[in-house]
Amino acid sequence: MANEIRVLIAEDDVNTHEEWRESITAWGYRGEIAEDGIRALDLIGTFNPHILVSDLKMPRKDGLELLREIRELGIQLPVIMISGRGEIPDAVDALKLGALDYLRKPVDPVHLRQMLKNIADHMTVREENSVLRRRLAEVGELGPLFGRSLAMRRVIATIERLAPSSASVVITGESGTGKELVARTIHELSPRRSGPYVPVNCAAIPETLMESELFGHERGSFTGADRRREGCFEVANGGTLLLDELVEMKFELQSKLLRVIEEGRVRRVGGTAEIPLDVRVLAASNQDIERAVREGTLRADLYYRLNVFTINLPPLRERAEDLPQLVQMFVQHYAAQNHRDVVGVDDDCMMALQSHPWPGNVRQLRNVIERALIVCDGRIIRKVDLPEAFRVGGNGASSFIKVPLGSSFEDVERELIARTIEFTGGNKTRVAELLGVSVKTLYNKLERFASDRPENLERPQAAVRKGK
């Protein structure tokens, strides 16, 4: 298979040509080399490459111009750009012009080889996939991601466009809008899909452990490090790493993170060996991430490095037209799971759902439907099956807590937090906002309560889960 794949290299430094030719052949491709952009265009016509690897800086016609012309000619050709030091803004322009990816000089052959392999593997299935995906986008579904609204279709179209590359993506949106789902979908639609998908929740990991969680550690590198441990970056090698709640990461650690991403290699805490990485990094945040940059909690250079593409997920209240489809999907899902013969919701119930503000977005909707399905006694869910807040119009009835005299501050705190979590449908950011504490503080409190009384309060989700 690889034998039939033709790779064109456009590079003006003739001293490296022999080396290029040898590598490409050794990896099993047919290679051809152009010394400038004009020659590259000629060869695209005659050699008809499957993949183009192009230097950004070249005489006569540089990489960006070459890319622009390829696009204008309507040629479908995956392009990997090679940028020199300081050419990152141009590399980002190249991605915007449709380049699949970029590499920095000096090119790491291991990395390039993997990129070529990803593209080559992907090529055979691409045709059928793109037809399938177009259909999915038309009906408003992309894998598990639902939404017929214009806003969601835009999101779906963007995901399709950027999934095949290795470019970073920043995903923003209120809690429960589907950021993690989007991250996973990007991974599933990318050539990395057979590699690992590793989500890390930066808010749920104690600050002191964060560094070793991300980068790993050698045995004995700190008290408690009784054995060697791979960090998330290593675990995600060949796949995708999601840095969830990125804004919660300590400022000093952010520069280390940036360095690892830029250099494409990692050193474990207490270690010396540099481990080469091929990881696509996605970041998610439910806070206004640009404000975090302005306020100095998120490093600007890290943000700009990650923010090659942005996906902003609209809150549920701004896409009420998606509600019926989501409701139907959750009803079917939970009916099957609970072996119940429930088929839908009645009009009155749907109206109550549609007029709700949904502070917890799709997650909250899912929970409401799951609960309604359990309490409902017919085949159709009715308004009486919804939580009290939906029945009285507004959140009136559930927005009070009763505290018996004689309670301690801690009891009150516990009750208030538990009820606020209920009130927001589990939206932790909103809970923290309402209570006037940071998300981190909230997690710490939950952690403490959970260890006192494990059955009563929700624990923060496991910080790290391996993908399938």
Nearer to ligand ATP, 6 or 333 (CB): 333
Applying CB under 6 A, the span of 56-64, 144-152, 341-349, 403-411 interacting with ligand ATP comes to 144-152
Q: Write the CA distances from 45 to 63, 67, 73, 185, 447, integer angstroms.
A: 17, 14, 11, 35, 62
Range 200-259, binding ligand ATP (CB under 6 A): none
Residue 248 within binding range of Mg ion, rule CB under 5 A = no
Residue 111 within binding range of ligand ATP, rule CB under 6 A = no
**Which one of 179, 217, 305, 430 is in contact with ligand ATP (CB under 6 A)?**
179
Least CB distance to Mg ion at residue 179 (A) = 5
**Which one of 165, 168, 177, 185 is in contact with ligand ATP (CB under 6 A)?**
177
* Interaction mask 136-175, Mg ion, x per CB under 5 A: ----------------------------------------
Residue 180 within binding range of Mg ion, rule CB under 5 A = yes
Residue 286 within binding range of ligand ATP, rule CB under 6 A = yes
Residue 443 within binding range of ligand ATP, rule CB under 6 A = no
- Name which of ligand ATP, Mg ion, none residue 23 binds, using a CB cut-off of 5 to 8 Å depending on partner kind: none
- Name which of ligand ATP, Mg ion, none residue 286 binds, using a CB cut-off of 5 to 8 Å depending on partner kind: ligand ATP
**Which one of 176, 196, 231, 359 is in contact with ligand ATP (CB under 6 A)?**
176
Nearer to Mg ion, 111 or 179 (CB): 179
Least CB distance to Mg ion at residue 310 (A) = 16
Nearer to ligand ATP, 97 or 136 (CB): 136
**Separation CA 227–CA 212 (nearest Å):** 12
Least CB distance to ligand ATP at residue 376 (A) = 21
Residue 165 within binding range of ligand ATP, rule CB under 6 A = no
Range 352-411, binding ligand ATP (CB under 6 A): 362-363, 366
Residue 180 within binding range of ligand ATP, rule CB under 6 A = yes
Structure tokens at 17: 């040509």
Residues that bind Mg ion in the complex, under the rule CB under 5 A: 179-180
Which residues sit at the interface with ligand ATP, rule CB under 6 A? 144-147, 173, 175-181, 286, 362-363, 366
